[in-house]
Structure 1
């Protein structure tokens, strides 16, 4: 059965840990595996790190740049070289590829999001393997993904993938870092993120010298992807042939079971692609109306507001304890909401001096959090 598969490979898998030079044998195995999957009828997307690492090696830098400007310059040097290497390997197997550079803005702006979906769909139908990376050379700090684990999860959500493979430098998720804790317990299956919390996982915050990701970012990516209905796997990048074995049912790596997928494309976009810029705290009645009755949010149910935002931006809806229960697109700015929170809808025109929407967040623009 044809499936859509997103594979994310990290810098730690693409490079030699001591030197930062590319691990060409690993790249060759990865290319061979992905080409075979593509020729078997699957749709394949590769999300690759490595531009900064390759740029560092090309320029003779001994460590990863710390300033934004230097990192962007190094990424500009490395990205072309990285794509040249991928193109050489894939061309040797007659597999066409495409480069797609994405920024967070491409997911936040609805028109860009829809266009990106259309581009991926056409490339996959043409039998092309899109190779995706963050557009490091132009990204600004507040609109960065932060790591390619998050980017890969958002891409998997965007194209409604069946699988997301996160290739890393360990063979699966453990109860603690097995390089530091010899008796750390392997975890093969995670039924839900609540189950993961029960396992009391201890995760390292950072990745390798040359990379930005750690296990924390992979678990966060798995949360995004599984909430979007994508089965997610953490497995070792040095053995990319494991991808085919896992697809055939072998119990390798750690698998995260997907949650039921919403078929509403707009709500998927709200749930997984937008960056909330504020919080609305709700009373018990509003929480019940939204979570149990599927109703819109009215001004009367808002007890407090956090952050500064404009109308049509994304916000988190939280209960009294601060737990996110939903997120959605707000019909009023934070300034307006400070004036009308806790008030009835019919009072809004008199308070603001003009007529506005009856709802603060309409149910069509609202998605419940898991």
Structure 2
């Protein structure tokens, strides 16, 4: 287990998912202030070693219920959305107050299922989150329950956390839970259930341990089925995932000290996994033809800039995969930073001239090197 603890301590970007049951007292409906203070201290310690941190947190609806005196009964969809609207303000303020004690600014980011599935929305959200991390903020992400309906929502933050990890290229995801990992059976009902400390491959047998993912009872709002689906997403993106108990006051410190957990192993780093995904799974929507100088730059590990592009073909949106062509040969594939119409307007221009041509800039590169694979 030691090498996995080392991987945790050496992670570059950590996603921490926090559920409502950990953050909000079930009996009173009030925020667990001491627990939140402890997790904030843990995050400050992690940030001090140079690791970026993103929080994916539930709790808005639970806090809104209390504020609107709607506890103790089933809510309609519109009432849930109203609770989310009220509770999200409380939740954001709570994280701001807790992390401000350590000198960190927080940033609220509300996402829905289409934000992580639609390529254009995905790339916009990714840019925003990466910018926040670069500026030293701690993003706090929640599903946008105020506007999301059953048809366009995750319904759990486990998978949203995994999509966030994929979006920012995180190398570690920690799901804080009411259970300390994956067991061969439900340990509350089966005395012989065995804890699984390391899961090297997510097989059909492993997935079956979480129950039926299509069952309302299994899915719930963060049951084991959703955690295993999150693990599938994370490890494919090159991100290790951990399930551990969050019920102690300093759960991340406890994990670092060897607390019981289940570790889902990623077999590639995020950059390699991302490039495998780009090269092997995404259909190309267009072509960018480049000159000799741009070809040399790409082979040297640099981004593709507009100045080196001589021709654009196809219909593509920002975030779509496109093929890079040099001397009539496909030499690379990557994710476009601009759509086809925008690309046509900035062909051959220096990066500093993009704003003048478009009236805005989405970045200096037509394809950033992190989103480009040489063929």
Q: Tell me, yes or no, whether TM beats 0.5.
A: yes
**Structure 1 residue aligned with 2:262:** 254
Corresponding position: 1:148 with 2:157: yes
**Structure 2 residue aligned with 1:193:** 202
Give a deviation string over 1:336-364, Cα, whole Å, max 9, x none.
Answer: xxxxxxxxxxxxxxxxxxxxxxxxxxxxx
**Structure 2 residue aligned with 1:122:** 131
TM-superposed deviation, 1:243: 2.5
Of 205, 215, 218 in structure 1, the residue corresponding to residue 224 of structure 2 is: 215
Moved more, 92-101 or 171-180: 171-180
Of 163, 168, 176 in structure 1, the residue corresponding to residue 177 of structure 2 is: 168
**Structure 2 residue aligned with 1:33:** 42
Give a deviation string over 1:322-345, Cα, whole Å, max 9, x none.
Answer: xxxxxxxxxxxxxxxxxxxxxxxx
**Structure 1 residue aligned with 2:97:** 88
1:263 aligns to what SS in structure 2?
helix
Alignment of 1:355-370 (within 5 A): none
**Structure 1 residue aligned with 2:114:** 105
2:42 aligns to what SS in structure 1?
helix
> 2 CA distance for matches of 1:251 and 1:237?
10
TM-superposed deviation, 1:201: 2.2
> 2 CA distance for matches of 1:251 and 1:189?
13
The 1:206/1:172 distance shift into structure 2, 3 A limit, reads farther
> 2 CA distance for matches of 1:270 and 1:64?
46
Name structure 2 gaps, 5 residues minimum.
1-9, 283-316, 318-375
> 1 CA distance for matches of 2:126 and 2:75?
33
Name structure 1 gaps, 5 residues minimum.
272-311, 313-370
Count of aligned pairs: 269
**Structure 2 residue aligned with 1:286:** none
The 1:198/1:166 distance shift into structure 2, 3 A limit, reads closer
Do 2:11 and 2:172's aligned partners in 1 also have CA atoms closer than 8 Å?
no
> 1 CA distance for matches of 2:240 and 2:150?
30
Give a deviation string over 1:7-55, Cα, whole Å, max 9, x none.
Answer: 0000111122333322222111111111211122100000000000111
TM-superposed deviation, 1:152: 0.3
TM-superposed deviation, 1:187: 1.2
Give a deviation string over 1:97-122, Cα, whole Å, max 9, x none.
Answer: 11111112212332221111111111
Do 1:222 and 1:232's aligned partners in 2 also have CA atoms closer than 8 Å?
yes
The 1:220/1:33 distance shift into structure 2, 3 A limit, reads same
TM-superposed deviation, 1:202: 5.5
The 1:12/1:92 distance shift into structure 2, 3 A limit, reads same
TM-superposed deviation, 1:203: 4.5
**Structure 2 residue aligned with 1:263:** 274
> 2 CA distance for matches of 1:66 and 1:270?
41
> 2 CA distance for matches of 1:240 and 1:179?
23
TM-score by length of 1: 0.66
Of 22, 25, 29 in structure 2, the residue corresponding to residue 20 of structure 1 is: 29
> 2 CA distance for matches of 1:265 and 1:44?
25
> 2 CA distance for matches of 1:247 and 1:265?
31
